[in-house]
Structure 1
Amino acid sequence: MSVVALIEFDPASGAATGHRLADADAALLRVTDLGATRGDGVFETASLVHGHVQALEAHLERLVQSARMLELPQPDPAVWRAAVLAVGDALTAEGVDEGSIKFVLTRGVEGGSVPTGWVFGTAAPDFTADRTSGVRLVLLDRGFRHDVSQTSPWLLAGAKTLSYAMNRAALREAARRGADDVLFVSSDGYLLEGPTSTLVLRTGPRLITPRVDLGILAGTTQADLFAWAEAAGFPTGYELLTPADLAAADAAWLVSSVRHVAPVRAVEGVERAIDAELTERFNEALDARTA
Structure 2
Amino acid sequence: MTALVFLDPDFSAGRIADDTAAQLSVLDQGVTRGDGIFESALYTRQVVRKLDAHLARLRVSAQVCDLRIPDEGAWRAAIETAVAEFDAATPCAEAVVKLVATRGSDETGVGTSWVMVSPAPELGRKQREAGVSVLLLDRGYDSTVAERAPWLLMGAKTLSYAVNMAALRHARKQGAEDVIFISSDGIVLEGPTSTVLLAHRDGDTKRLITPTLETGILPGTTQGAIFAAAKEAGWELGYGPLVPEHLMDAEGVWLVSSVRLLTPVNSLDGTPIARDAELHEELTAMVNAIE
Answer yes or no: same fold by TM over 0.5. yes
Are residues 1:128 and 2:125 paired? yes
Are residues 1:95 and 2:96 paired? no
Are residues 1:194 and 2:195 paired? no
Q: Residue 278 of structure 1: SS of its match in structure 2?
A: helix
Compared with structure 1, are the counterparts of its residues 24 and 74 closer, same or farther at alpha carbon in structure 2 (3 Å cutoff)? closer
Which residue matches 1:258?
259
**Which portions of structure 1, spanning 4 or more consecutive aligned residues, are displaced by more than 3 angstroms?**
none
The 5 Å alignment of 1:115-264 reads: 115-126=111-122, 127-204=124-201, 205-264=206-265
Aligned counterparts of 1:207 and 1:81: Cα–Cα separation in 2: 33
1:105 Cα deviation (Å)? 0.4
Are residues 1:8 and 2:8 paired? yes
Pick one of 106, 109, 120 that aligns with 1:110.
Answer: 106
Which residue matches 1:21?
16
Letter in 2 for 1:121: V
Compared with structure 1, are the counterparts of its residues 89 and 284 closer, same or farther at alpha carbon in structure 2 (3 Å cutoff)? farther
1:88 Cα deviation (Å)? 2.4
Pick one of 28, 33, 45 that aligns with 2:28.
Answer: 33
1:92 Cα deviation (Å)? 3.3
Contact 1:52 1:88 in 2 (8 A): no
Aligned counterparts of 1:134 and 1:66: Cα–Cα separation in 2: 30
Q: Residue 214 of structure 2: SS of its match in structure 1?
A: coil
Deviates more, 1:229-238 or 1:262-271: 229-238
CA distances 1:198-251 after superposition (whole Å, capped 9, x unpaired): 000002210000011211110001111111111122111212100111111111
Structure 1: tracts of 5 or more residues without a match: 11-15
Letter in 1 for 2:27: T
Contact 2:69 2:113 in 1 (8 A): no
Contact 2:143 2:216 in 1 (8 A): yes
CA distances 1:48-73 after superposition (whole Å, capped 9, x unpaired): 11110011111111111111111111
Aligned counterparts of 2:86 and 2:44: Cα–Cα separation in 1: 10
1:17 Cα deviation (Å)? 6.1
Q: Residue 275 of structure 2: SS of its match in structure 1?
A: coil
Letter in 1 for 2:237: T
Compared with structure 1, are the counterparts of its residues 146 and 17 closer, same or farther at alpha carbon in structure 2 (3 Å cutoff)? farther
1:261 Cα deviation (Å)? 0.4
Q: Residue 65 of structure 1: SS of its match in structure 2?
A: helix
Q: Residue 67 of structure 1: SS of its match in structure 2?
A: helix
Compared with structure 1, are the counterparts of its residues 188 and 118 closer, same or farther at alpha carbon in structure 2 (3 Å cutoff)? same
Which residue matches 1:269?
270
Q: Residue 149 of structure 1: SS of its match in structure 2?
A: helix
Structure 2: tracts of 5 or more residues without a match: none
Letter in 2 for 1:170: A
Q: TM-score, normalised by structure 1?
A: 0.93
Which residue matches 2:51?
56
Deviates more, 1:92-101 or 1:43-52: 92-101
Aligned counterparts of 1:64 and 1:75: Cα–Cα separation in 2: 10
Aligned counterparts of 2:167 and 2:208: Cα–Cα separation in 1: 26
Letter in 2 for 1:274: R
What is the count of residue pairs matched by the alignment? Answer: 285
CA distances 1:1-32 after superposition (whole Å, capped 9, x unpaired): 2101101147xxxxx96512212212111111
Q: TM-score, normalised by structure 2?
A: 0.93
1:272 Cα deviation (Å)? 1.6
Deviates more, 1:243-252 or 1:73-82: 73-82
Deviates more, 1:119-128 or 1:168-177: 119-128
Question: Equivalent pairs: percent with the same residue?
Answer: 46
